[in-house]
Structure 1
């Protein structure tokens, strides 16, 4: 399959802003040519395709509700609270 950088750039330009952090993490896998076997294993690990349990679904819903309600902490605040 012949794919050009321009085609990839065009697709990236269509990605919603809210999804950019996820896309960036994914794309970095291809540019981080690391010799670290753990990083390589993580980058090549298969996706988790097991269905979510009801408990997991509830936990995700609770987390999403927390985000919507603003019940979150910044990384800096959390580090400060943990004394890091």
Structure 2
């Protein structure tokens, strides 16, 4: 998703919201908080998934690791081959 496509989406769907473009890295919670000038506890992590025809957006506290560790016990990562075999989708 390009910066232009995000801007175009907001112009049509939420013209009162102006996306913030950052030049500093936001790869970690600490970097994101520093770049935005906020506390680490104010940062949220997001994970976007597509499962079948459904799209899921998970938003979680940026500083919370307990929930993620618990979730990882229940979620198994799949290899690309396993995904192709399960979905029967080959690109």
Higher relative contact order (CA 8 A, sep 6+): 2
TM-score normalised according to structure 1 size = 0.27
Q: TM-score, normalised by structure 2?
A: 0.26
Comparing both structures, which one devotes a greater share of its residues to helix?
1
Larger Rg: 1
More strand by share: 2
